[in-house]
Structure 1
Amino acid sequence: MSRNESPGRSVTSKVLAVLGAFDPGARELTLSRLAERAGLPVSTTHRLVAELAEWGALDRTTDGTYTVGRRLWTLGLLAPVHSDLRSVAAPFLQDFHAATRATVQLAVRDGDQVLYVDRLSGNVSVPVVSQIGYRLPMHATAVGKVLLAHAPDDVVTRVMGRLTRHTPWTITSPAILDGQLRRARSEGFATTGEEMSRGASSVAVPVVRGDEVIAALGVVVLDLRRGRGELIAGLRVAAQGIGRRLSSLDRD
């Protein structure tokens, strides 16, 4: 038994550990690296990976590494957060993207992180870390700050307890972040300035269904010093449209 492997682990927990070994920083993994990250013996990992690859949950590349398979992505699209929110939001994202030609993002809170459920890339070359399906820290992204501002107290407490630095401008002071969250609630938007990646700033607003903030809509640009007001106004129009459409679906 691996030193990292707990006795009595179920097959399901082992399969989930293998799938959970992948993240935005580890999109391709060798068998040995998969075993290490999953806390499983290589022999056990080899058997599980073979079954997962046969089913389509994992793909084996030409150089022998493994990636998340297309079948998992297809299943993920069936989740309500994807099928309902993405389909309703799509025309609003497309309109805003056409008007600004900037990178537009739609995100939801997933535990203590922000999960990106849709994104349209901008024409201007801006370093954007997020991709559809990526999870990123809430404190370093505008969409994340919006969602954190409306998150339960226990989530805020946990996030405040581990404010990791991603660039020299990442906010790692709980007091400063708390002030930003207060402003996000009162002003209805949040911003970042090169806090997740150098050369990229962002602004985001909440998407509200009924009385609940269910998502955040944001845009990533090179600089917010010019045109910030217009971007916020456009985001608010789009977010309100998404919220109204979702609310109408609830009543149907």
Structure 2
Amino acid sequence: MAEQGQSDIQAVSRMAQMLGLFGPEAPELSVSEATERLRLNRTTVHRYLTSMTAAGLLERGGQPASYTPGSLMIQLGAFAIGQRRVIQLAPDHLRELTERTGVTSVLSLWGPSGPVVSLVEEDAVHGTIVTVRVGSQLPLETAQAIAFLAYLPDQLQVDRLLASLPAAQRAGLVERIETTRTTGLSIYPANRRGISVIAAPVFADSGVCATIAAIGTDRMLPSAPDARTAVAARETAMALTREMGGTWPGPESHPSE
């Protein structure tokens, strides 16, 4: 088992080395070039490049025995760039949303199995603050998770995540997902602690990339979709979507307007 683990680690390390050979000056790489630069056996290099091509990490290049970054690498790269960019653009939008609503504003990114809180803007004016820690992994029943699940491009992943839940809970989440697709808002009315959340998705050109949420007590945060805070959350998400070069799914106006 230990030998197998060391072998797996070495395989990952070698794949990383090979992927690191690509760049603006080297968009295409031949087996000979990789062999020379990595100082590995040609057969070993060829085996790795062939396996990485089968996995979608690489594609065949225009020249014989050459390779270029594959569709999976391009997809992951675009996703990483989008996440970094939305983190850079979001603070001003969160600050404006908090000023408009008087409640905490949150930006979350999609993690391995749900949203992860990435930015938090707390209201410094009012004495009562409802907040959440950066880095918190949010459960699937939360408003921000529903906002993601409604628009994630990989619906097979959505189905797998929902399948892990009890049937009654799953049915309730499916209904909330459909409501979010209709209104552009994911609303979680007050829980047993009196905390409400209103979330809206943010889109880049590659699809949903984040969610923006307003968090407060049930008195601070009316949960009606046409309430002032709900409209502000949706408008903030739409404004950030425009900056991200994304497209809002549907007319850019509140259903009540």
TM range (shorter): 0.5 to 0.7
Asked if the contact 2:202–2:238 (Cα under 8 Å) also holds between the matched residues in 1, the reply is yes
In structure 2, how many angstroms separate the alpha carbons of the residues matched to 1:6 and 1:148? Answer: 39
Asked if the contact 2:142–2:188 (Cα under 8 Å) also holds between the matched residues in 1, the reply is yes
Q: Cα 1:245–1:175, aligned 2, differ >3 Å: closer, same or farther?
A: same
In structure 2, how many angstroms separate the alpha carbons of the residues matched to 1:186 and 1:227? Answer: 14
Aligned match for 2:138, one of 136, 139, 157: 136
Q: Cα 1:82–1:125, aligned 2, differ >3 Å: closer, same or farther?
A: farther
Moved over 4 A (4+): none
Q: Cα 1:246–1:199, aligned 2, differ >3 Å: closer, same or farther?
A: same
Residues 9-158 of structure 1 aligned to structure 2 (within 5 Å): 9-10=5-6, 80=81, 83-122=84-123, 123=126, 125=128, 128=131, 130-137=132-139, 139-151=140-152, 152-158=154-160
Q: Cα 1:11–1:90, aligned 2, differ >3 Å: closer, same or farther?
A: farther
Deviation at 1:161, TM superposition (A): 2.5
Asked if the contact 1:89–1:242 (Cα under 8 Å) also holds between the matched residues in 2, the reply is yes
Secondary structure of residue in 2 paired with 1:204? strand
1:174 equivalenced with 2:160 (yes/no): no
User: Percent of aligned positions with the same letter in both sequences?
Assistant: 19
Secondary structure of residue in 1 paired with 2:175? helix
Asked if the contact 2:103–2:130 (Cα under 8 Å) also holds between the matched residues in 1, the reply is no
Which residue does the alignment assign to 2:44?
none
1:140-185, CA deviations, whole angstroms, 9 ceiling, x for partnerless residues?
2211110011122222222213338xxxxxx962111111101111
Asked if the contact 1:126–1:199 (Cα under 8 Å) also holds between the matched residues in 2, the reply is no
Deviation at 1:85, TM superposition (A): 0.8
Structure 2's unaligned 5+ residue stretches are 10-79, 247-257
1:191 equivalenced with 2:187 (yes/no): yes
Deviation at 1:218, TM superposition (A): 0.6
Q: Cα 1:242–1:174, aligned 2, differ >3 Å: closer, same or farther?
A: same
TM-score (norm 2): 0.57
Asked if the contact 1:127–1:199 (Cα under 8 Å) also holds between the matched residues in 2, the reply is no
Which residue does the alignment assign to 1:238?
236
Give the alignment's Cα RMSD to 1 decimal. Answer: 3.2
Q: Cα 1:103–1:198, aligned 2, differ >3 Å: closer, same or farther?
A: same
Secondary structure of residue in 1 paired with 2:245? helix
Letter in 1 for 2:156: D
Deviation at 1:134, TM superposition (A): 2.1
Which residue does the alignment assign to 1:70?
none
Secondary structure of residue in 2 paired with 1:112? coil
Letter in 2 for 1:83: R
